[in-house]
Amino acid sequence: MKILIVGAGGVGRVATHKVAQMNDVFDEVLLASRTKSKCDGIAEDVRENFGVTINTEAVDADEVGEMVSLIRDFEPEIVLNLALPYQDLPIMDACLETGVHYVDTANYEPRDTPKFEYHWQWAYRERFEQAGIMALLGSGFDPGVTNVFCAHAARNHFDEIDCIDILDCNAGDHGLPFATNFNPEINIREITQPGRWWNETNWEEVEPMSVHESFSFPEGIGEREIYLLYHEEMESLSKYLDLKKIRFWMTFSDSYLTHLRVLENIGMTSIEPVHFKGHPIAPLEFLKAVLPDPASLGERTKGKTCIGCLVHGRKDGKEKQYYIYNICDHEEAFAETGAQAVSYTTGVPAAIGARMIATGEWLKPGVWNMEQFDPAPFLEELQNRGLPWTEVDFDFTPKPQTNSTFVGDRN
Ligand code: NDP
């Protein structure tokens, strides 16, 4: 099969390395991005590391016509979209026009309103079905692997689920005062939103970063402060899995939050354009231009990420708690692909998602989220392609009632 990868950032770099190692299914790869020199740099590294040739092209994926021409020239079976969330709809339109499968890692966002909602992409369902092609949405780590972890827990470990807490910890250190681990614009739009979580029948909303507590992460990472955020996978998981509550938590250091607060207070995280020397400039876009490029952090980042799901419910009439997680080492990820663990944990599942379609294990016309498929083949690939996972069952000991939001007692 031929695959077209769009986006030559950190995630595109990792996915290209992984796809190059899947030559049992992908025999031709084209990497295209706005800046062709970035594609060439990645192609050169892949050639050195694996002796595999990657074709490269420049494309502006905001332009449906350009995408359609590129697809018609190269004739791929799958397009793996690793550009930014703004490009999701134009690339889906191009896939519809050319009859090619589509995979991404982040849901569509309009540039002028940071909204993390699937409805724009779910609206393509019938058209994809009619065209006999498939779109797999959110095949990164979170969303992505977290959805698969939840589906696996629901299928194999629980009869009833009361609550899922998705816990995302980056215990890495790049030694810089302030930098984001992936695209700064997308990252800051995400974490400055109100926190939201699903509570039985409705979304509860809290001020950004106002709910937090500590959680003890496994395998030497230890106690970290986790903050309640809204994250897109909760929308599909609360719809497609039978569960009462779902929440998402992410770790942040005090220094990161102090920098963020100052930037917010002085208006630098706003997406409303201001006029500067006769030009409209969105402060957040300018901030992105002065912050370190996340791709440059790889070389200097040490430590680990730990992302997983803590599930609380019942099996065979007994209350239980279950934790499934992956640990990824920044330095090992860099040694293999030239990118740190945040890009690695996204790029590997992106490549596996494309592989699931290519092998036919997850092939069904329409628009789908990850938890709608059998988790087993995906989890097996994950174990073997650099993201091994661990699952642990805990005897549940009820905690005394406190004012804190209950995340879990892993004794
Ligand atoms: P980067 O900013 O590093 O890379 C994005 C790439 O997309 C750049 O190479 C950029 O090109 C290219 N691009 C941007 N606009 C266009 C366009 N109009 N046409 C063609 N190419 C374009 O981002 P990351 O690699 O860190 O992230 C990639 C995606 O992964 C994002 O959508 C992000 O939200 C998602 N993500 C998902 C995660 C998950 O777990 N699900 C976690 C982390 C990220 P150029 O450099 O030339 O401007």
- Average pLDDT on 376-402 reads 80
Pocket of ligand 1 (CB under 6 A): 6-12, 33-35, 38, 59-62, 82-85, 87, 105-106, 138, 140-144, 182-183, 186, 294-295, 343, 346
pLDDT in tens, 97-154: 999 999 999 999 998 877 789 999 999 999 999 999 999 999 999 999 999 999 999 9
Are 187 and 180 in contact, with CB atoms under 8 Å apart?
A: yes
Question: Does residue 409 surpass a pLDDT of 80?
Answer: no
Alpha carbon 318 to its chain's center: 33
> Which of 84, 232, 250, 293 has most ligand 1 atoms within 8 Å of its beta carbon, as the pocket-test mutant?
84
Percent of the chain residues past pLDDT 90, beyond the cut: 85
- What is the 8-class DSSP label of residue 157? T
Give the global pTM. Answer: 0.94
Give the per-residue pLDDT at 186.
Answer: 83
Q: Which of 37, 346, 352 to mutate to test the pocket of ligand 1 (most atoms within 8 A of CB)?
A: 346
From the number of C-beta atoms within 10 Å of its C-beta (0-12, 13-18, 19+), residue 48 rates as exposed
Q: Which two tokens stand for residue 387?
A: 């993201």
Query: Under 8 Å CB-to-CB from 355, ≥6 apart: which residues?
Result: 22, 25, 26, 381
pLDDT reported for residue 403: 41
Per-residue confidence band for 395, with pLDDT thresholds at 50, 70 and 90: low
Rounded CA-CA distance 77/41 in Å is: 24
The DSSP letter of residue 59 is: -
Indicate left, alpha or beta for 6 from its phi (over 0: left) and psi (-120 to 50: alpha): beta
- Contacts within 8 Å (CB) and 24+ apart, 401-406: 404/213, 405/211, 405/213, 405/228, 405/247
Q: What is the mean pLDDT of the chain?
A: 93
How many angstroms separate the alpha carbon of residue 386 from the centre of ligand 1?
Answer: 21
Task: Report the alpha-carbon distance of residue 245 to residue 82 in Å, rounded.
Answer: 30
Q: By mean pLDDT, which of 8-17, 107-116, 318-327 is the weakest?
A: 107-116
Report the separation in Å between the CA atom of 154 and the middle of ligand 1, taken as the mean of its atom positions.
31
**H or E element that contains 47:** helix 36-50
Question: What pLDDT score was predicted for residue 317?
Answer: 94
Residue 242: CB atoms within 10 Å? 11
Distances (CA, A) of 111 to 70, 90, 284, 391: 24, 13, 11, 38
* Ligand 1: centre distance to CA 142 (Å): 15
Q: Which atom of ligand 1 is nearest to the CA of 186?
A: 34
pLDDT in tens, 47-101: 999 999 999 999 999 999 999 999 999 999 999 999 999 999 999 999 999 999 9
**Counting atoms of ligand 1 from 1, which one is nearest the CA of 142?**
40
Q: Looking at the chain, how many residues does it have?
A: 411
Q: Which domains does the chain have, with CATH numbers?
A: 2-137 (3.40.50.720), 145-339+387-395 (3.30.360.10)
Please give the Cα distance from 62 to 59 (Å, whole number).
9
Beta strands in 64-153 (DSSP E): 78-81, 101-104, 134-137
